[in-house]
């Protein structure tokens, strides 16, 4: 049984509200918007958990350290 407060349900609920707020207009770049909204807190939590160690954080996230650095820079976290 799926929890009511699962991450996917939270995202779904917020996307439904976002689409309703558009009042019939078509969404633009919805995928990129969601990725940007989700990616930063994931990076923040990994960096906190890794105590700022980018190598450890990149292992937790399943990405290379170079990719992690690029994402941290893109989000203004470095």
Domain locations along the chain: 28-78
Residue 3 in this model has a pLDDT that exceeds 70 = no
Query: How many Cα atoms sit within 13 Å of 27 on the Cβ side?
Result: 13
pLDDT tens readout for residues 14-39: 999 999 999 999 999 999 999 999 99
Structure token pair of residue 3: 């929890």
Helix (H) or strand (E) holding 66, with range, is helix 65-74
- The CATH number assigned to the domain with range 28-78 reads 1.10.10.60
pLDDT tens readout for residues 5-16: 798 999 999 999
The answer to whether 65 touches 55, Cβ cutoff 8 Å, is yes
pTM: predicted TM-score of the whole model, two decimal places: 0.79
pLDDT for res 4: 67
Give the Cα separation of 3 and 54 in Å (integer).
32
């Amino acid at each position: 049984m799926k929890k009511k407060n699962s991450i996917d349900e939270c995202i779904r609920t917020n996307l439904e509200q976002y689409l309703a707020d558009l009042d019939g207009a078509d969404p633009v770049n919805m995928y990129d918007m969601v990725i940007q909204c989700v990616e930063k807190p994931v990076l923040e939590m990994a960096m906190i958990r890794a105590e700022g160690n980018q190598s450890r954080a990149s292992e937790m996230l399943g990405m290379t350290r170079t990719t992690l650095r690029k994402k941290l820079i893109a989000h203004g976290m470095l």
